Amino acid sequence: MGIQASNHIAGNAIDMNVSWTGKINVKKKDGTTVEIPFMSNVNANKKLHEVGKSYGVIKHISDAPHWSVNGR
């Protein structure tokens, strides 16, 4: 049985915790600014996911710190 490749092993995923206080303004790749409120449940923060996706980083919805090129 072969070794299953993962996005982490391939360098296409990162686990990171992101936090701040209140609201922040973040630029999407196209230069538009999005105001993002802090949410303790990062999996529910759709605005943060939208900004990440604009840079090609997709949030894995059921794994709080996981972001990758395909969301897996």
pLDDT tens per residue across span 1-45: 445 678 888 899 999 988 999 999 999 999 999 999 999 999 999
Q: Residue 53's domain spans which residues?
A: 14-68
CA–CA separation, 29 vs 21, rounded Å? 23
Instruction: Print the SS3 string covering the chain.
Output: CCCCCCCCCCCCEEECCCCCCCEEEEECCCCCEEEEECCCCHHHCHHHHHHHHHCCCEECCCCCCEEECCCC
- pLDDT attached to residue 18: 84
Q: Is residue 1 part of a domain?
A: no
The residue assigned the tokens 């794994």 is 63
Q: Is residue 61 part of a domain?
A: yes
Total count of domains within the chain: 1
Enter the DSSP assignment of 19.
-
Q: What is the pTM of this model?
A: 0.83
